Amino acid sequence: MNRTFKIEKLDVVTKEIAELQQEQQDLLRSEYELIETKGIEFVRVKHLQSKIFEIKSKDLRSLFKYQEGKIIIIGVVFIKKVKRHQKIKSNLPNNG
């Protein structure tokens, strides 16, 4: 089953990506190319709510919606600043 999709980015996302470090830009580009050439099952995707999904790339996140015609619209790109285990650890009491 061919699960490839065409990736389209909102203008604001193109600007957000341009502000990232080159290594981060390259990572997103390779993830998006994987989706377009091999299929969405080759990247980590998480359903967030209703019709919003997340592509998880190391500490980067791309939020998207599916559109008719096998198109993915990327609406937001951001850097995940706090790792879950750090957040949990910081909430634990200090017992010395």
The sign of the dihedral angle between the CA atoms of 35, 43, 9, 22 is negative
Q: What pLDDT does 69 receive? A: 85
Q: What pLDDT does 59 receive? A: 87
> How many structural domains are present in the chain?
1
| CATH value at residue 31 | 3.30.2310.20
User: Domain containing 40: what range?
Assistant: 6-90
The pLDDT tens digits of the residues spanning 75-87 come to 999 888 765 544 4
Whether 96 is covered by a domain: the verdict is no
Whether 76 is covered by a domain: the verdict is yes
Task: Measure the CA–CA gap between 31 and 85, rounded to whole angstroms.
Answer: 25
